[in-house]
Structure 1
Amino acid sequence: MERKKIHLEYLLNATSKSILWSAISTPTGLEGWFADRVQSDDKIVDFFWGKTEKRTAEIVAVRAYSFIRFRWLDNEIPREYFELKMTNSELTNDFVFEITDFAAANEVDDVRELWESQVETLRRTCGF
């Protein structure tokens, strides 16, 4: 099954880099838009959706106020990850929120739609 790397970018008129960083890197922040509940034990993070769905990820890389990269522990392809990254647009002084993820070739559109929905929730909950 062919896998595709997905790279998405969203311009956020974020007034505070600490608000965006908190939203993408802390359990409380991630609960606001990514998952219903998030528990973290150092580098291992449990994500919960609804009453029964749970996935566990490992934080494989992080640079404060820049990016956080997770790897799903149930993923059989060790090189795959999902990354949440924030950069500052020098032109507008707004933030660019970048997402990198992987999906089966026949699921790319579904994964893009899911991220679109998640980012809309992020915009609403953080006021971006």
Structure 2
Amino acid sequence: MEKIKFVSDYQINSSKKIIYPYLSTASGLSQWFADDVLINEDKVYNFIYDGESHYARAVIMRLNHHVKFEFFDPDEEEDEETDHPFIEFKLDENELTQTFYLRVVEYGDAYDEQEQQSIWEGLIGSLKEIIGG
């Protein structure tokens, strides 16, 4: 199946220090992003939604700035494939307006772009409700 990259920015009225734990920890992610998120002893994240497990590794964790999760199939042998699906969260600040933005980058199987936009608007809306931003 063809993969696409979805990129969208969302204004967040909160500080990076408040938002970051919701993007980088299992407990934070399970409040708005997935039904549940578990981490095992090998630091493998298990994102559970719609009754299915989706396994990922945190490949980037830059405190209060950037998180990237790369998804993989635990039943397949590790290979040199570099085309893994991923989700990336970047926190940026507009220097002029002092406004914070959350950039979401999702790379994975092709979906309708309008549907992706709608899904992320709902997820970010939930995140904003939780953090008050």
TM-score by length of 2: 0.82
Aligned length, in residue pairs:
126
| Cross-structure match for 1:21 | 20
Q: How does 1:44-83 map to 2 (within 5 A)?
A: 44-50=44-50, 52-74=51-73, 78-79=82-83, 80-83=85-88
CA separation of 1:120 and 1:37: change in aligned 2, threshold 3 A: same
| Cross-structure match for 1:5 | 5
Instruction: Report the identity percentage.
Output: 30
* Partner AA of 2:34 in structure 1: A
Over the aligned positions, Cα root-mean-square deviation in angstroms equals: 2.2
Deviation at 1:71, TM superposition (A): 1.0
Structure 1 gaps, min length 5:
none
Return the alpha-carbon distance in structure 2 between the equivalents of residues 117 and 97 of structure 1: 14
CA separation of 1:105 and 1:26: change in aligned 2, threshold 3 A: closer
CA deviation profile, 1:85-116 (whole Å, cap 9, x unmatched): 11112122121100001244453322222111
Structure 2 residue 97 is the aligned partner of structure 1 residue 92:
yes
| Helix, strand or coil at the partner of 2:10 | strand
Return the alpha-carbon distance in structure 2 between the equivalents of residues 34 and 63 of structure 1: 19
Return the alpha-carbon distance in structure 2 between the equivalents of residues 81 and 48 of structure 1: 15
| Helix, strand or coil at the partner of 1:11 | strand
| Helix, strand or coil at the partner of 1:32 | helix
Structure 2 residue 131 is the aligned partner of structure 1 residue 126:
yes
| Helix, strand or coil at the partner of 1:91 | coil
| Cross-structure match for 1:110 | 115
